[in-house]
Amino acid sequence: MHTILGIETSCDETAAAIVRGSISPLKSEILSNVVHSQIDEHAPYGGVVPEIAARAHVEKLDTIIARAMADAKVDWKDIDAIAATSGPGLIGGLIVGVMTAKTLARVKNKPYYAINHLEGHALTARLTDGLAYPHLLLLVSGGHTQILLVRGLGEYERWATTIDDALGEAFDKTAKLLGLPYPGGPAVEKAAKSGNSKRFDLPVPLKGADRPDFSFSGLKTALRRQATALGTLSEQDICDLCACFQSAVLQSLEDRIARSLARYKREMADHDPTLVVAGGVAANLAIRDMLQHLCVRHGFSFLAPPMGLCSDNGAMIAWAGLEHLAAGHPQGQLVSPRPRWPLDDRADPIIGSGKKGAKA
């Protein structure tokens, strides 16, 4: 059994957690998981301001780490290694977390592991449900929309990605366009519950296309045009627009993901088919419900993390560090923070109307 301190500062959550577990047999326990959300700091600007985020990490991280250790009832002698998100993310925040973790590792004489933030999401189902390799991962967050085959630790194949906006980004920009509060995803989901999803005819991006990738910029543009045509928006107009937007997203996701499920059945016939969803957008209940029904139709098991582990957190980083420690992988003292760090660095860039989804 190993006990790991995990630190996460890639965006607008300052987080630290203590996880204890083993790989053989696969066992895990989250001893503590402390997250400070910066929503209040960024809400006046309708989105994350990198400079404010980095400053907040500096101010909060030491306290968050101390609280995580106190909640877990552990001392430094109990810690076997320290892991921190080294990318991808906002470079200012990454520097704060990485330098703090490296310093602690030097001072306390502990191994240090530089963790890919996306890998933390990819391995969350192993932490929470003891899921065996391989499995299919749908990663949906503010910066990423991808489908990856998770063959094993460090073995990831990107099967699909967004050619423009990430889904979480599309939700946030839709909310901002309609005057809804930050964070946008939960606000759009809440408004959609009171809306008529058939009132406006919005496009379903890439529906029926042979390529398995995603696209959301055209949907976002269509929504803006519809909102502009209406002029002054009533509360019901906003709810209806949100419902139509979310309906188009669900239809697009269902059509796109089905292609990767079929591919998994063809190419991985010797393995149990499981789809895991991870990332902040995985907290959307309408998306979870659609994915559950889609998996039933295709003969897949479906796993989604607990709500508290959908958004950025230190527990997933600690678990990823534990897996690397148990595998005997090299330490990360020489690894620098990386704002871009793809899980599958062999995948060719996607040429589309944007570059964020192609390279992240």
Query: What whole-number distance in Å separates Cα of residue 151 and Cα of residue 304?
Result: 18
Asked whether the whole model's pTM tops 0.75, one would answer: yes
Task: Name the percent of the chain lying above pLDDT 90.
Answer: 89
Residues in the chain: 360
Task: Give the model confidence (pLDDT) of 133-176 as tens digits.
Answer: 999 999 998 888 999 999 999 999 999 999 999 999 999 999 99
Query: What whole-number distance in Å separates Cα of residue 277 and Cα of residue 125?
Result: 9
* Omega prior to 134 cis, within 30 of 0: yes
- What confidence category does residue 351 fall into, taking pLDDT thresholds of 50, 70 and 90? low
Written as one letter, the residue type at 206 is L
Answer whether 2-131+309-344 and 135-303 agree in fold: yes
* CATH superfamily of the 2-131+309-344 domain: ATPase, nucleotide binding domain (3.30.420.40)
Residue 352: the pLDDT is 47
Query: What whole-number distance in Å separates Cα of residue 114 and Cα of residue 52?
Result: 24
**What CATH architecture is 135-303?**
2-Layer Sandwich (3.30)
Task: Give the model confidence (pLDDT) of 276-308 as tens digits.
Answer: 999 989 999 999 999 999 999 999 999 999 998
| Structural domain spans, the chain | 2-131+309-344, 135-303
Query: What whole-number distance in Å separates Cα of residue 88 and Cα of residue 11?
Result: 9
Report the SS3 class of residue 5.
strand
CA-only gyration radius of the chain, Å: 20
